[in-house]
């Protein structure tokens, strides 16, 4: 999901909107398939509605309040029981990450002459020389290390002092749901739990009371960093998520209790015709506690650029565009 509304006003929101522009550009070139679907944050509790109202009054993002009727007319996935309203944002996009990377690589190779080497572990970088585990070497004027969640293979000392932490998430996918014949892109949906996760809502006075209420009612949601959201792809399958566990030694074992909590909270706010889960998975990413991305220039000029956290699809293009333009100005 590409979710610009989650980024706070100012530089980060501008970066996310630039990233959105680049996603749309790739879509226009046929490099990826994407939908401009927008998003709706659902309010099923009064404190959630209060945060929506306060957020709209800030006028930092392109949003508006929706009545319960407007929400249910926009999507059948919203549970109408107890629904008080919604917060609409038109900026969100839907991109399928399972195929996007391969599609972009194919487009880069065909149109830009870019060589992409997959299944090629890089084991050393030194003064513009890149060495792979199979003995191959490349030389470049500019080397950028974007190592994802691998913080040990290259520059372990730098990463140890970087402040980066690993985060594990769990997600689920339902079987295909019926689709309305005349419906357009189905908007992303998020519950009130998401308001305490995205930094864009931190300036809303009612958020403190909302956080306290959730901590008292369901402390395990905070323990596992659970906030629920959903996105329905054109084939009818629905993605449900997600959780956030932090630590240096994240166990490889998924927790059934986390999946159960995600489903429990999802069923309160979303409505599916069939809650059969077809797939479950987990992922690990690196995240910095303060910075949108960790940047470090080594003595030999290599740029380490890693750790956009859970906002990778939303922020990475904009962050990369900003960093590259800065490098061009400096050189």
Q: Does 245 score more than 60 pLDDT?
A: yes
158 backbone dihedrals φ, ψ, rounded to 5°: -65, -45
Mind listing the pLDDT tens digit for each residue in 76-103? 999 999 999 999 999 999 999 999 999 9
More confident position, 231 or 184: 231
In this structure, are residues 39 and 3 in contact, taking their beta carbons and an 8 Å threshold?
Answer: yes
Do 86 and 11 lie in a common domain? yes
User: Does any domain span residue 104?
Assistant: no
**66 membership: H or E segment, kind and range:** strand 64-66
Do 18 and 73 lie in a common domain? yes
Q: Does 181 score more than 80 pLDDT?
A: no
| Percentages (nearest 5) of helix, strand, coil residues in the chain | 35, 25, 40
Closest alpha carbon to 84 in 121, 47, 55: 47
Do 213 and 298 lie in a common domain? no
Mind listing the pLDDT tens digit for each residue in 259-269? 999 999 999 99
User: Does any domain span residue 147?
Assistant: yes
Instruction: Give me the pLDDT at residue 178, please.
Output: 87
Instruction: Give me the pLDDT at residue 182, please.
Output: 56
pLDDT above 90 coverage of the chain, percent:
92
Q: How many domains does the chain have?
A: 2
Do 8 and 38 lie in a common domain? yes
Mean pLDDT of the chain: 95
Do 39 and 86 lie in a common domain? yes
- Full residue range of the structural domain in which residue 149 is found: 117-163+291-330
- The first and second tokens of residue 267, run together, are 């069923």
Distance from C-alpha of 77 to C-alpha of 191, rounded to nearest angstrom: 12
User: Does any domain span residue 313?
Assistant: yes
What is the chain's alpha carbon radius of gyration, rounded to the nearest angstrom?
A: 21
- Tokens 């800030």 — which residue? 58
Spatial CB neighbours of 299, under 8 Å, sequence gap ≥ 6? none
Instruction: Give me the pLDDT at residue 280, please.
Output: 97
| Bridging pattern class, strands 144-145 and 303-306 | parallel
- The first and second tokens of residue 200, run together, are 């864009």
pTM (two decimals): 0.94
Do 155 and 122 lie in a common domain? yes
Average pLDDT of the segment spanning 104-122: 96
User: Does any domain span residue 133?
Assistant: yes
**CA atoms 150, 153, 154, 155: torsion sign:** positive
User: Does any domain span residue 85?
Assistant: yes
Mind listing the pLDDT tens digit for each residue in 272-282? 999 999 999 99
Instruction: Give me the pLDDT at residue 132, please.
Output: 97
Do 157 and 306 lie in a common domain? yes
Do 16 and 133 lie in a common domain? no
Mind listing the pLDDT tens digit for each residue in 283-305? 999 999 999 999 999 999 999 99
Instruction: Give me the pLDDT at residue 232, please.
Output: 95
Say which range, 109-113, 172-176, 251-255, has the weakest mean pLDDT: 251-255
Do 17 and 76 lie in a common domain? yes
User: Does any domain span residue 168?
Assistant: no
Spatial CB neighbours of 199, under 8 Å, sequence gap ≥ 6? 6, 7, 8, 12
Distance from C-alpha of 145 to C-alpha of 320, rounded to nearest angstrom: 12
Mind listing the pLDDT tens digit for each residue in 35-75? 999 999 999 999 999 999 999 999 999 999 999 999 999 99
Do 128 and 87 lie in a common domain? no
Spatial CB neighbours of 73, under 8 Å, sequence gap ≥ 6? none
Q: Does 331 score more than 80 pLDDT?
A: no
Instruction: Give me the pLDDT at residue 191, please.
Output: 98
Average pLDDT of the segment spanning 103-129: 95
Instruction: Give me the pLDDT at residue 252, please.
Output: 87
Do 187 and 311 lie in a common domain? no
Distance from C-alpha of 268 to C-alpha of 182, rounded to nearest angstrom: 27
Instruction: Give me the pLDDT at residue 250, please.
Output: 84
């Amino acid at each position: 999901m590409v979710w610009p509304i989650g980024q706070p006003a100012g530089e980060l929101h501008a970066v996310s909107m630039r990233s959105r522009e680049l996603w749309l550009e790739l879509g226009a070139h046929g490099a990826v398939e994407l939908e401009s679907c927008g998003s709706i944050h659902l309010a099923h509790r009064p404190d959630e509605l209060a945060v929506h109202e306060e957020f709209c009054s800030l006028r930092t993002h392109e949003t508006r309040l929706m009545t319960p009727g407007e929400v249910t007319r926009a999507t059948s996935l919203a549970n109408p029981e107890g629904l008080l309203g919604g917060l609409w944002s038109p900026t969100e996009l839907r991109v399928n990450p399972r195929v996007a990377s391969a599609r972009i690589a194919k487009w880069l190779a065909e149109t830009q002459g870019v060589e992409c080497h997959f299944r090629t572990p890089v084991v050393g970088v030194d003064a513009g020389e890149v060495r792979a585990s199979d003995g191959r070497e490349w030389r470049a004027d500019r080397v950028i290390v974007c190592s994802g969640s691998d913080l040990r293979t290259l520059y372990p000392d730098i990463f140890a002092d970087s402040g980066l932490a690993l985060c594990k998430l769990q997600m689920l996918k339902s079987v295909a749901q019926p689709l309305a014949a005349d419906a357009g892109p189905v908007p992303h949906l998020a519950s009130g739990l998401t308001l305490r996760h995205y930094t864009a809502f931190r300036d809303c006075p009612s958020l403190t009371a909302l956080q306290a209420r959730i901590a008292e009612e369901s402390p395990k949601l905070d323990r596992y960093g659970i906030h629920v959201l959903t996105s329905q792809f054109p084939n009818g399958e629905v993605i449900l998520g997600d959780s956030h566990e932090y630590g240096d030694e994240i166990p490889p074992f998924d927790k059934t209790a986390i999946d159960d909590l995600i489903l429990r909270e999802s069923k309160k706010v979303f409505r599916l015709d069939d809650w059969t889960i077809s797939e479950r998975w987990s992922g690990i990413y690196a995240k910095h506690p303060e910075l949108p991305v960790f940047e470090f220039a080594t003595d030999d000029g290599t740029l380490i650029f890693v750790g956009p956290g859970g906002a990778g699809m939303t922020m990475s293009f904009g962050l990369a565009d900003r960093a590259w333009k800065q490098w061009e100005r400096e050189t």
